[in-house]
Structure 1
Amino acid sequence: MKSLLKRYMYFLLIAIFITSVLALPVSAQDIGVNVENGVKKEGVTVNRDNHSPTGYTATFVYKNETANSVQFYGQFQFANPGVDYPIENVPTYSPEEWTKEMFPLNMSTPYVKEMTKVEGTDFWTISMPLPSGGYPYSYIVDGVTIADPSNMPIANQDTGKQNLSMAYVPFDSKKQSFDYSYVLPKKGAKTGSVSFETYSTSGLLTTDQSLGIYLPHGYDPNRNEPYKVIYLSHGGGGNEADWFNTGSAANILDNLIAQKKTEPVIVVTMNNSVFGWDMAKITKNMMENIIPFMESNYHVSKDSNDRAFAGLSMGALTTTNIYYSNPTNFGYFGIFSGADARVDLSNYNLDDLRKPKLFVAAAWYDMAYHDVGFNSEINTLKFMSVLDANQIPYEFENVNGAHDWFTWPQLLNKFLTDVVWK
């Protein structure tokens, strides 16, 4: 009882201290805004900070002449490993409460903080210590959520805008335990490109759709060997920009290719939300429209062993449905955070289902991993039991995280590093 009381008093004093600090007026010099000389560091700045528990401090600066209130909204929660599931039992902590053993995760309650108006200026700001990784964030300006205008997200302007900007923080090996720096933009000029291309859905929809396409640095349409391709599906409510923005897929590829941990490959994303998650239509579109489009317009291999398909959440259900119906058209499948186990595999050719390499993965605090709090037929554990019952081999990975964009870049990194074309 005494230890609990001490713990309570400790956190109460910390909360009072933080509140008192935030209540102090902030000067322009405090945040690096030189009003007299017109130097304005808007957006996010991440600086090494010996006084920060993580070794780095991120400062966000937003300019608005008319706003009455600006809030900072983002995925800035942390947890300790090994807490018993269910997810509602997992205590989470703010950046100010972070300790070395913690890892980032996004729970149901968002991180929302009031930003401080800088005296005598139109600038609003907030600072916090952060460990390594990529952090999605937005501003809520007088009740309206917007992306950071000085750090706009990767988005397909023709089909849908993103409200989540990204802040990237390096790794400090002395102060941090978990290195997520593979999601950071690669330094130097040798980076790939991301573009959005229009293709026809051949009558499945009344309008053409878009693909997100990553081409590795030095892409050569005339090289002797065609490029291998990874097709990636987003989750519910997402679109073709998700994997390149909050998923940091291009950054991950740039870093792994530079480190020679994977070969230069093409990555293709699509918008499956437009089909209302009708798996038959999504599969038909994939096989009859997207793959032929890529083979007609890019120097890609037509060998099924040079193709991989992966997806998260609803995209994991998509991946399993494509796996069931077209197992020999891909060499690799990545099934992240969920799966469709509502199938009787006795109706399928098991020899064909054993041919591709399966990578099944989820996070420990992932609602689509456990068989509680989620549909009992579309979680990772159920899917693995179906594979086991039919003697279908697979690789499994369980990482720190939840059902979020901290988990899925981890799984993509593992898929690229340890599974595809290995």
Structure 2
Amino acid sequence: MRGLALLIELALVAGTLGKVTTVRKTGTKPTGYEVDFVFTPNSTTHASSVLLGGFPFFSESLHASLSKTDGYSPYEWGSNMFSMRMTPDYGNEAGTLSGLEMKRNEKTGDWEVTVPLPSGTWLYAYYPNCTTGNWRNCDVAIVDPSNLPIEAFPGDQSLSAIQLPFDPTFQVNDYSWQLPLQDASKEGMSASIDTHHQGQPIHIQVNIHDVGIYLPNEYGKIRNKKYPVLYLSNGGQGSDSDWFQQAQIHNIVDRLINTGELEPTILVTLNWYDLGFTLEEYQTNATLQAEYLDVVGYARFFNRVRENLFSYLMPWVDENYEVSNSSSHRAFGGLALGGTLTYAMLFNATDYFSSYCVMSPTPAPDGGDGQYNASFNPDLRNVGILTGAGFYDTTFDAARNWETTLAEQNVTYLSHYAMNGAHQWSTWQEIAYIYLREALWKPVPYGRKTSLKQFNSLPLIDF
């Protein structure tokens, strides 16, 4: 079960299981919808207070920058606002990472709070006995027992996810493209042969690799059909579950396939931790970017990851799934440090994939790096590249600087910058959505002749 569908079904049996977190349509301000968050502590949880946290508070463009934001609570939400996460490195994170105090129901023992939220995906957890007011500084985070996350193993994900529909009466920005299809029979499926629910990704261990797999709904129903495959990388400290739990990427792909905007595609999500070597082994004092990012060390580490993936994971995918063996049907993308892994693929396995999506690269290669030189690697001019970050993203400069270098090498690319995005999952959801809908499996290289018309015809949606 996933998202809203899970909560609706759980609500139907609430009489026997007790109250659970639910979404309600109110038809009233501020958003037209509310979420009744309910935390039922177990026998070992003894809380004198519980904080609801995990999602950033809101800002609006007049009061938002890398260094500050006012941090409006959901109760103050207005249609011109967006959820924006500050980070410890830039500005005062307390403005956006505050939590909401829950109230104990003396009759049931549950902790409850009702919160208005606009459409989209919201990540949250419960923080018992947290008195800081900032959920990042709490000692314990508990996922919602009534809305467990999609995860590779128990404890892999620290936040539950809830998704809300769009109400045009009160809202301007429609994020329904993140929500599950209403007809569950059209959802993509797991490759699992056990009791995983349809639509849930499978977690598999291949040699030393953890991997998530998504298969389109029609997979296995059309004889001898081969499918394109998109590899997606996690970011720093992430896992193969991240794209499914935090971005709900399976919902996005389901919807685009269902509308015919995306060719049925297999997704493979990566986890490049625990491969037998670590980033620390490759650290240097050579090229530092943004005062703390070791560009040379990261490049060496991710090239080692690339070699490992080609030795173990990718041959396993080719052997076990009906994937195309043509580079025109292979693509790679990643966010943050996963964007750096995407660079390693782009520069060192250029002709193996036809398409690359680099999101919030952390870090970008140094501007003088010879890997950029299209004279030595002319295939750079023959692949599709889409790059981007959030407008308030800490990696904004890195993303733009590497675009400048690509342009100097006459390497064409597309870019998408989330105008209301910071270094957070909502930014990468949006970039991935644009990439899947407007670029993936389109003629390459991406440039004026192949893609400008498509982007000019996008609906005027203020993301």
RMSD of equivalent CA atoms: 2.2
Q: State the shift of 1:176 in Å.
A: 1.1
- Looking at structure 1, the residues matched to 116 and 224 of structure 2 have their Cα atoms a distance apart, in angstroms, of 48
Q: 1:385 aligns with which of 395, 404, 416?
A: 404
SS of the residue aligned with 1:198? Answer: strand
1:149 equivalent to 2:171? Answer no
Greater mean deviation of Cα atoms: 333-342 or 305-314: 333-342
- Structure 2: gaps of 5 or more residues: 1-10, 88-92, 130-138, 190-200, 280-300, 443-463
Tell me if the contact between 1:341 and 1:382 (Cα under 8 Å) persists in the aligned partners. Answer: no
Q: State the shift of 1:114 in Å.
A: 1.7
Q: What amino acid sits opposite 1:168 in the alignment?
A: Q
Tell me what 1:71 maps to: 51
1:335 equivalent to 2:358? Answer yes
- Identify if the C-alpha distance between structure 1 residues 33 and 300 changes in structure 2 by more than 3 Å, giving closer, same or farther: closer
Q: What amino acid sits opposite 2:250 in the alignment?
A: A
SS of the residue aligned with 1:319? Answer: helix
After TM superposition, the structure 1 = structure 2 runs for residues 267-278 of structure 1, keeping only pairs within 5 Å, are: 267-274=267-274, 275-277=277-279, 278=301
- Looking at structure 2, the residues matched to 347 and 418 of structure 1 have their Cα atoms a distance apart, in angstroms, of 25
Tell me what 2:212 maps to: 212
Q: 1:326 aligns with which of 349, 354, 359?
A: 349
Tell me what 1:374 maps to: none
Task: Provide Cα deviations, 1:302-345, integer angstroms capped at 9, x if missing partner.
Answer: 10110110000001111012100011110100000125222223
SS of the residue aligned with 2:345? Answer: helix
- Looking at structure 2, the residues matched to 349 and 221 of structure 1 have their Cα atoms a distance apart, in angstroms, of 44
Tell me what 1:296 maps to: 319
Larger radius of gyration: 1
Greater mean deviation of Cα atoms: 383-392 or 90-99: 90-99
- Identify if the C-alpha distance between structure 1 residues 82 and 397 changes in structure 2 by more than 3 Å, giving closer, same or farther: farther
Tell me if the contact between 1:359 and 1:396 (Cα under 8 Å) persists in the aligned partners. Answer: yes
Number of matched pairs: 372
- Looking at structure 2, the residues matched to 352 and 146 of structure 1 have their Cα atoms a distance apart, in angstroms, of 48
- Identify if the C-alpha distance between structure 1 residues 389 and 183 changes in structure 2 by more than 3 Å, giving closer, same or farther: same
- Identify if the C-alpha distance between structure 1 residues 262 and 67 changes in structure 2 by more than 3 Å, giving closer, same or farther: same
- Looking at structure 2, the residues matched to 184 and 347 of structure 1 have their Cα atoms a distance apart, in angstroms, of 40
Tell me if the contact between 2:29 and 2:170 (Cα under 8 Å) persists in the aligned partners. Answer: no
Tell me if the contact between 1:33 and 1:41 (Cα under 8 Å) persists in the aligned partners. Answer: no
Greater mean deviation of Cα atoms: 164-173 or 66-75: 66-75
- Looking at structure 2, the residues matched to 234 and 38 of structure 1 have their Cα atoms a distance apart, in angstroms, of 38
- Identify if the C-alpha distance between structure 1 residues 190 and 89 changes in structure 2 by more than 3 Å, giving closer, same or farther: same
1:102 equivalent to 2:125? Answer no
Q: State the shift of 1:222 in Å.
A: 5.9
- Identify if the C-alpha distance between structure 1 residues 391 and 82 changes in structure 2 by more than 3 Å, giving closer, same or farther: farther
Q: State the shift of 1:257 in Å.
A: 1.1
After TM superposition, the structure 1 = structure 2 runs for residues 221-232 of structure 1, keeping only pairs within 5 Å, are: 223-232=223-232
- Structure 1: gaps of 5 or more residues: 1-31, 201-207, 371-378
Q: State the shift of 1:217 in Å.
A: 1.1
- Looking at structure 2, the residues matched to 177 and 33 of structure 1 have their Cα atoms a distance apart, in angstroms, of 31
Tell me if the contact between 2:330 and 2:354 (Cα under 8 Å) persists in the aligned partners. Answer: yes
1:112 equivalent to 2:99? Answer yes
How high is the TM-score relative to the length of structure 1? Answer: 0.83
Q: 2:34 aligns with which of 57, 70, 95?
A: 57
Tell me if the contact between 1:341 and 1:386 (Cα under 8 Å) persists in the aligned partners. Answer: no
Task: Provide Cα deviations, 1:34-90, integer angstroms capped at 9, x if missing partner.
Answer: 99x656221x211111223111111101112643222111213222236564x1133
- Looking at structure 1, the residues matched to 339 and 176 of structure 2 have their Cα atoms a distance apart, in angstroms, of 25
Tell me if the contact between 2:123 and 2:160 (Cα under 8 Å) persists in the aligned partners. Answer: yes
Tell me what 1:163 maps to: 158
Tell me if the contact between 2:386 and 2:413 (Cα under 8 Å) persists in the aligned partners. Answer: yes
Task: Provide Cα deviations, 1:244-303, integer angstroms capped at 9, x if missing partner.
Answer: 000111111111111211121100011123353421221112222222111000000010
Tell me if the contact between 1:133 and 1:183 (Cα under 8 Å) persists in the aligned partners. Answer: yes
1:360 equivalent to 2:387? Answer yes
Tell me what 1:306 maps to: 329
Q: State the shift of 1:104 in Å.
A: 2.0
Sequence identity (%): 33
Tell me what 1:41 maps to: 19
After TM superposition, the structure 1 = structure 2 runs for residues 197-276 of structure 1, keeping only pairs within 5 Å, are: 197-200=204-207, 208-220=208-220, 223-274=223-274, 275-276=277-278
- Looking at structure 1, the residues matched to 375 and 348 of structure 2 have their Cα atoms a distance apart, in angstroms, of 8
